[in-house]
Structure 1
Amino acid sequence: MPDRTRDLIEMAAFIYAADRLITRGRPNQVEFENWARELTFCIPVRDLTYWQQDEVVKSLASALTFVSGDKSYSFYFTKRISTDPPTSLFHDADTAPDSVDLKSGYPVALFSGGLDFLAGVVSLLATTDKKVVITSHRSNPSTVKVQKRVYEALNRAYPGRLLYHPLECSLTGVRASEETQRTRFFLYTAVGFALAQAYGQDELNIFENGITSINLSKRQDLMNGRASRTTHPKTLGLLQKVFAGVLNHPFIIRHPFIHLTKTEVVSVLKQYNQPDLIGSTLTCTKTFEKFNNRTSASHCGYCSQCVDRRFAMYAAKLEKYDTVYDFDLATEAFPKKDAQTHVIDYMRHAHTFATTHFDEFYNDYLDPLSDLIEFIPNEHIEEEVTNLHQLYLRHAGAVERAYRRMVDMHDSIFKPPLANSIYEVVNARRFQRDRAECLAADIARMLNTTIPIALASITVGHENALNDQIQALLRRDSETYEREYPAVRFSFATVVPDHSSTSADADLFIEAKFLRKKTPPSVITDQIAADLMKYPDGAYKLFVIYDPERRIKEDNRFKRDFEIRSNCTICIIR
């Protein structure tokens, strides 16, 4: 391996280790300023002259900053003076080929053990008679187990056609404090680049569906490092530049599935008569959890990746080849709130694109699209944006087809409705409403049940006592609720909500009103009208009105007049 390439591999390993050891903070620290890091590396290298060039350092830092979502990366290089022992980069004797023609022109691909990567490798094997070189990064025993299982399944389907070079790289003797691992892809592709170079190739194949790669955010709290950019076209463009510099001539990272949906990627396995391989792959992000509902399950069934996979399988009519899920989305009630949230977010995302025409798509997603078109020749920009719009429309269509198939197979008007299920979510069209509105409805439903019980033997004499009860009930469910925060400026005044939540796309402000025995309802009407004027238009408001004396005579009329005019929910409790 050339010195410069060896430097790159070691550098990628150091950066990956630092990424895992330096925490980004708590999961609820949504703000970029709190969550992103500034990282400085001092690294000894063999080819000091090359790595000290300003353009090389800038290229490396740009790629890492984008893929990780961090604020900055700085590098200081020194001359490495120690010699290298005669070791191999790759470690697995079970899969390493006995002899290899390094100038054979075999295609090289990354291989994770996931579904998209499986479909990509199958497409290479099925469309050429050449052997295919694959490499994977192994970081823990569970990853090794999955990758070996998928490799063995592929090897049975295409005997003697794979040359597998896995690389082991992980922390030892210390537990990682950060699990986002955004720089893992830099290590992964650096290994793929080194292997392609060894085989005389100037390109590397990466397989991921376009929806996941582009990853237009479903929620406001999935930003920067929180939203994966591993196979984003800009990431690949920036890494191409880094690798081309190391190689000293052009290097291409191929992304054949960039214009395919997950359903279309899964259908590749049907096209090449290999659907039986599907069950060997792993998509779930919750594999560290113990599954209790089905002990044979390999997937939780409700994380965002499982939801995406499940919908794709039904849309492609391949659900019978799928893996075992601890929670079956199509036949069971949601086991926890997260499960419902992931499904609603997923369907809301699809609904947004199903109802968005081209001009809206371009304008609404101008910032993330600019990251894409930066690496496209000017004469092809409009064509590419059109292709991406069509991609998202096809994805929305696949989601609808998948749901209709679930209904056809598992639901019936002659069965009792399955409470707290995907069918209830769709029938109530919760995914067509803003997350803040759904959250307000959930809180209102909870408070309507609990407040009368909590106050059954307590006389509330003032609004603060009511707010104490509301705060206790809110904090029981989540720590994201704040009391009297944040302060909102309006003209020359400052308004402070009784409670708030920053967990939704739009802020949810909660105001409590106590209707005393002699308080006329018109006073509450005036107070709510004044509050609505002070809060931002985009913010959602929940008004909790405690009315034990039934001062409000017509609940529906009172609520309707506010709710049809403003972005709010009125909850009347007795």
Structure 2
Amino acid sequence: MKLVCAPKDYAFKGTSKVLDVVLYGQADRPTRGSVGAAVTDKMFREKLRAATRAWDFLSLALSVIAADLAGHRNMSPDGWTREFELEISVADPAFWNTQRELVGKLLEFLTTDRWQISFMEGGISPTPPKQPVMPPEDCVALLSGGLDSFIGNVDLVTDGRKPFAVSQTVRGDAKQQRSFAQKIGGGLRHLQINHNAEVPNPETPPSQRARSLIFFAYGVIAATTLKRYHVGESVTLYVCENGFISINPPLTGARLGSLSTRTTHPVLLGLLQQLLDAAGLRVRVENPYQLKTKGEMLRDCTNKALLSTHASETTSCGRFKQFGYKHCGRCVPCLVRRAAFRTAGMNDTTEYVYKNLGRNDADHAGFDDVRSVAMALAEVKSDGLETWIGTALSTKLLGDIGPLQAMVGRGLDELGSLLKFYGVK
């Protein structure tokens, strides 16, 4: 599938074999897509001035989001791996074309699709505000509305840091994101942005494989607006996620119960850091919870009172919208969440659609993700953790895998305790 992604003043050729996508504007005809229409206005209203190459990176991320939405898995030979060819307008195509191989490698790892990326002229570099605001915060932290990012921001504030919270607004989460930002540390500076991606004939249900790239891009944009960045210092972008979900180990040999994203996998973060360094963007990406399970994150949170009050208000479910903005209680993220509360000994007042996992039917104990966890636990018991993990931690890019492997084992133990509580075998 080929896409050409450029601002609205670009002379699109309009051929039937290419999907034209308008960046930072609205599509002027139903055969075109659009993404990021409100982003430039949002940044202008906030009087924020970001680095030009940060805008280019955002243009890349927005283009990938549009492709992810437009590409249909069922049209690929194996029903899973899609092939994309993207031409993207940026302000500095000469530089970005030197990074095509690295960008393709990053995207392939993130989405498991195949990508051919090229960059062309015509990208935006918004006129800076006459009196730009340069936030005095000392770091940037993503705030999704999820439990992990909530804990991450709480811990940063307790540690004396002043994070600039950044969110991708999602229906069902936007109000909660604002509420969390107001309640942490007496109120955080908070930037909410929505990519508003629209394409003709989108995949249903929409793919979520590429979504973390837009989170990173928003974080990088925000980081380059800080005062410390403008005076030549580096800024840390905190992307807080528990290590078990970050590693995303396939629970079974098949895709049964597998997760659809590699949001903060250490290999992905390493590739992203290489790209940012090559671009001269002084932003350091860090996941401080890479070696912690979700249960350990809850247990070790530095403000237990605040966590206990709001933990159940956070969102973890992979099918939250599908179930009327309620947690299903049975997808892998929900199972990890429920296991974490038990591990930390915290009261979980979250409303789960499928609460009693012990019910012996297809919606509870027999549901695919629940069975996948049970099968993984059985395989670890019979063959050992190292054999079960297999190639999930085999890449040389990870270095010493011992601590990661131990963390994955503890994460499985948490899930095992949850299933044991409900009598799932």
Q: For the superposition of Structure 1 and Structure 2, which TM-score range results when normalised by the shorter chain? A: 0.7 to 0.9
- 1: CA distance, partners of 2:225 / 2:255: 38
**1:37 partnered with 2:82:** yes
Partner of 1:57: 100
Q: What is the CA distance between 1:238 and its match in structure 2?
A: 0.7
Q: Secondary structure at the match of 1:185?
A: helix
Q: Deviations over 1:241-290 (max 9, x none)?
A: 111112256x4211111111121122234753321111211111222334
Partner of 2:342: 314
**1:252 partnered with 2:284:** yes
Of 250, 269, 281, which residue of structure 2 is paired with 1:217?
250
Q: Deviations over 1:166-186 (max 9, x none)?
A: 111022474621522211211
- 2: CA distance, partners of 1:395 / 1:353: 12
CA RMSD between the two structures = 3.1
Q: How does 1:446-457 map to 2 (within 5 A)?
A: none
Q: Secondary structure at the match of 1:217?
A: coil
Q: What is the CA distance between 1:83 and its match in structure 2?
A: 6.5
**1:7 partnered with 2:93:** no
Contiguous gaps of at least 5 residues in structure 2: 1-49
- 2: CA distance, partners of 1:148 / 1:115: 15
Q: Secondary structure at the match of 1:133?
A: strand
Contact between 1:213 and 1:229, CA under 8 Å: does it hold in 2? Answer: yes
- 1: CA distance, partners of 2:302 / 2:116: 46
After superposition, the Cα gap between the structure-2 partners of 1:265 and 1:2, relative to the gap in structure 1 and judged at 3 Å, is: same
- 1: CA distance, partners of 2:244 / 2:124: 45
Identity of aligned residues (%): 22
Please tell me the residue identity of whatever aligns with 1:78.
M
Q: Deviations over 1:498-538 (max 9, x none)?
A: xxxxxxxxxxxxxxxxxxxxxxxxxxxxxxxxxxxxxxxxx
Tell me the number of residue pairs that the alignment of Structure 1 and Structure 2 aligns.
367
Partner of 1:399: 415
Q: What is the CA distance between 1:237 and its match in structure 2?
A: 0.6
**1:155 partnered with 2:182:** yes
- The TM-score with structure 2 as length reference comes to 0.77
Q: Deviations over 1:107-151 (max 9, x none)?
A: 2111211111111111111111x421111112x423xxx242143
Please tell me the residue identity of whatever aligns with 1:151.
R
Contiguous gaps of at least 5 residues in structure 1: 89-97, 292-296, 407-421, 427-574
Please tell me the residue identity of whatever aligns with 1:203.
T
Q: Secondary structure at the match of 1:76?
A: strand
Q: How does 1:535-550 map to 2 (within 5 A)?
A: none
Partner of 1:47: 92
- 1: CA distance, partners of 2:302 / 2:284: 28
Q: What is the CA distance between 1:335 and its match in structure 2?
A: 6.3
**1:228 partnered with 2:261:** yes
Q: What is the CA distance between 1:86 and its match in structure 2?
A: 4.7
After superposition, the Cα gap between the structure-2 partners of 1:364 and 1:277, relative to the gap in structure 1 and judged at 3 Å, is: closer
Please tell me the residue identity of whatever aligns with 1:3.
T
Q: Secondary structure at the match of 2:73?
A: coil
Q: What is the CA distance between 1:40 and its match in structure 2?
A: 0.9
After superposition, the Cα gap between the structure-2 partners of 1:212 and 1:238, relative to the gap in structure 1 and judged at 3 Å, is: same
Please tell me the residue identity of whatever aligns with 2:106.
A
Contact between 1:123 and 1:272, CA under 8 Å: does it hold in 2? Answer: no
- The TM-score with structure 1 as length reference comes to 0.58
User: Greater helix percent: which structure?
Assistant: 1
After superposition, the Cα gap between the structure-2 partners of 1:352 and 1:147, relative to the gap in structure 1 and judged at 3 Å, is: farther
- 2: CA distance, partners of 1:374 / 1:230: 17
Q: How does 1:41-440 map to 2 (within 5 A)?
A: 41-53=86-98, 56-70=99-113, 72-80=114-122, 86=127, 101-102=134-135, 104=136, 106-128=138-160, 130-138=161-169, 140-142=170-172, 146-160=173-187, 162-172=188-198, 174=200, 176-177=202-203, 179-199=206-226, 200=229, 201-222=234-255, 227-247=260-280, 251-269=283-301, 272-274=304-306, 275-290=308-323, 298-318=326-346, 320-329=347-356, 334=361, 336=363, 340-353=367-380, 357=384, 361=386, 365-371=389-395, 373-376=396-399, 381=400, 385-402=401-418, 406=421, 422-423=422-423, 425-426=424-425
After superposition, the Cα gap between the structure-2 partners of 1:175 and 1:120, relative to the gap in structure 1 and judged at 3 Å, is: farther
Q: Secondary structure at the match of 2:141?
A: strand
Please tell me the residue identity of whatever aligns with 1:15.
V
Q: What is the CA distance between 1:364 and its match in structure 2?
A: 5.3
Q: Secondary structure at the match of 1:323?
A: coil
Contact between 1:327 and 1:335, CA under 8 Å: does it hold in 2? Answer: no
Q: Secondary structure at the match of 2:318?
A: coil
After superposition, the Cα gap between the structure-2 partners of 1:127 and 1:59, relative to the gap in structure 1 and judged at 3 Å, is: same
Contact between 2:354 and 2:364, CA under 8 Å: does it hold in 1? Answer: no
After superposition, the Cα gap between the structure-2 partners of 1:314 and 1:183, relative to the gap in structure 1 and judged at 3 Å, is: same
Q: What is the CA distance between 1:105 and its match in structure 2?
A: 5.2
- 1: CA distance, partners of 2:199 / 2:104: 29
Q: What is the CA distance between 1:309 and its match in structure 2?
A: 1.4
- 2: CA distance, partners of 1:85 / 1:245: 22
Q: What is the CA distance between 1:101 and its match in structure 2?
A: 4.6
Q: Secondary structure at the match of 2:178?
A: helix
